[in-house]
Amino acid sequence: MSPDPFRVLFVCTGNICRSPMAEVVFRDLAERQGLGARIVSRSAGTGDWHLGERADERTIESLARRGYDGSQHRAKQFTAASFSDNDLIVALDRTHERILREWAHDEDEEGKVTLLLAFDPDASTQDVPDPYYAGTEMFDSVLGMIESATRGLFRQLEPALRAPRTPRA
């Protein structure tokens, strides 16, 4: 029986800009490090405005400029089941973090919530800015922040991911 993968969910507002970027970048990083089978990288939004939609075209273009494929993304909404379906829930800014902690039913669920930029010691802010109302340059800047922070997150998780893992009961 093979071990269950570690499940990470990235969360932003509408699940069409920041969180899809983080999902794609983190999945790509795990695959390039030979740990793609040990990680499930997903994303969701706190709101339902874009359910089923593709990522914002500027998100897809920004990802493509750096060699990532975000074309398969379809927006999903965070639900109560998202807590039990994931091992780590990564908020893209403090507003999302606050909302997710409020939605948590107990300390275990609340303990799964963290901020993405907490994994980047060089970050000058705690929040990944929302590029939705900005131009292409902002999408590229946000992607750079996400790349740096997801590398930090991956470095923290990597030793556990490389260690033998026991199947879930």
**Which listed residue (66, 85, 87, 130) is catalytic?**
130
- Tell me whether residue 17 is one of the annotated catalytic residues: no
- Tell me whether residue 140 is one of the annotated catalytic residues: no
**Which listed residue (18, 38, 42, 58) is catalytic?**
18
Query: Per mean pLDDT, which range of 34-43, 74-83, 132-141, 155-164 is the poorest?
Result: 155-164
Give pLDDT, residue 101: 98
Domain map (residue ranges) of the chain: 6-161
- pTM of the complete model: 0.94
User: pLDDT by residue (tens digit) across 20-33?
Assistant: 999 999 999 999 99
Measured CA angle at 16 (ends 119, 6), to 5 deg: 45
Residue 11 banded pLDDT, cuts 50, 70, 90: very high
Tell me which CATH code domain 6-161 carries: 3.40.50.2300
Give pLDDT, residue 166: 59
- pLDDT(165) > 70: no
Alpha-carbon distance 164 to 106, whole Å? 29
Alpha-carbon distance 157 to 159, whole Å? 6
Pairing state of beta strands 88-91 and 39-45? unpaired
- Tell me whether residue 87 is one of the annotated catalytic residues: no
- The overall average pLDDT reported for the chain is 94
Residue 168 banded pLDDT, cuts 50, 70, 90: low
